[in-house]
Structure 1
């Protein structure tokens, strides 16, 4: 059953920035404090720029140091980026996220966009129910997700666990 909470248009814009333009490595979403819409909470911006500067500017509009981590160098390891990603998940609160995960399948390195619904066991029941009933609304807006994951244990919010699950797909 859907909660009826809508998805803010900026969520789709930032997801397109991750999926199509490769401007972000991850985007974290949350339900706002008034429980009236799903909004962007945080994102990790790469140094990539598209050939269309106006398109890049439109996608990155609103990015501030408070809500955006900027890639300092092109060679930052995925493990470091994932560590930054995990640091933006509050201990006892639910979140949604998309992460462009790079992993090794045989001799080939590939990327998949993973949708994560994070509801830690320590979160209060009401928010967990709200996030659970709102998840599909966000997932429908984010076209191009390769894998959906429900994570309830903070220990499972790690890169190796996610890469391992991708190998089984």
Structure 2
């Protein structure tokens, strides 16, 4: 239960575990239920590019997401699981407040996230921006 009283639907952690351990998903997008009482899986996508992931983030609605981010270093391929809080400027203020106060309920349940990104526009979640944060 979060500060806002929002709970997690059972499938939220299960989907994340499938992404982390089985590579069953490339990314998962979470949202609040229509009554704003529960965090639910909006969609779990098994394959897709980063651009396809970004295209799934609504321009006027908040979301949470996890993405299995692949990148290359001189010594080989790497990947990190990235947690996103998507809160676009065009989302309703009340919704942004509920998402903000509910984030910890989901974030603390997802063990194995390497980095958190908060985005209000696509520049803040652009591939190169996230890659730069990962490499720090």
When normalised by structure 1's length, the TM-score is: 0.76
**What is the CA–CA distance in structure 1 between the aligned matches of 2:133 and 2:74, rounded to whole Å?**
15
Are 2:5 and 1:4 equivalent residues in the alignment?
yes
Higher fraction of strand: 2
Question: What's the CA shift for 1:156?
Answer: 2.1
- The number of equivalent residue pairs is 135
**What is the CA–CA distance in structure 2 between the aligned matches of 1:93 and 1:121, rounded to whole Å?**
9
Question: What's the CA shift for 1:88?
Answer: 1.2
Q: Deviations over 1:89-111 (max 9, x none)?
A: 11111000000001123332210
Question: What's the CA shift for 1:39?
Answer: 0.3
Structure 2 residue aligned with 1:163: 131
Are 2:112 and 1:144 equivalent residues in the alignment?
yes
- 8 Å contact kept, 1:8–1:38: yes
Instruction: State the structure with more CA Rg.
Output: 1
Structure 2 unpaired stretches of 5+: none
Q: Deviations over 1:137-168 (max 9, x none)?
A: 00011111111111112222221211111011
- 8 Å contact kept, 2:123–2:129: no
- 8 Å contact kept, 1:42–1:88: no
**What is the CA–CA distance in structure 2 between the aligned matches of 1:135 and 1:15, rounded to whole Å?**
15
Structure 1 residue aligned with 2:49: 81
Are 2:100 and 1:99 equivalent residues in the alignment?
no
Are 2:15 and 1:14 equivalent residues in the alignment?
yes
Question: How do residues 26-45 of structure 1 correspond to structure 2 at under 5 angstroms?
Answer: 26-45=27-46
